[in-house]
Amino acid sequence: MPSYLQLKFAFWGNSMKSTLVLVFTLASLSLAAAPALVAGSRPLPPKHAKAGLICYDCHQKEEPDHAAIPDDSCMNCHGDYPAMAAYTKKLAVNPHDPPTKDKHPKFVCTDCHHQHKPAEVKCLDCHDKFKMTPR
31 and 64 part of one domain: no
Which domain, by its residues, includes 30? Answer: 1-41
- Residue-wise pLDDT tens for the chain (135 aa)? 555 555 554 545 556 676 666 666 666 655 554 444 444 567 778 888 899 988 888 888 777 777 778 888 899 999 998 999 999 998 888 888 887 777 777 888 988 888 888 888 888 888 888 876 655
Q: Quote the pTM value.
A: 0.58
- 81 shares its domain with 103: yes
Q: What is the DSSP secondary structure assignment for residue 106, as one 8-state letter?
A: P
Number of domains in the chain: 2
CB 77 within 8 A of CB 71: no
CB 113 within 8 A of CB 119: yes
DSSP-derived letter for residue 122 is T
Rounded to a whole number of angstroms, the distance between the first and last alpha carbons of the chain is 91
Asked whether residue 108 falls in the same domain as residue 70, the answer is: yes
Do residue 36 and residue 95 come from a single domain? no
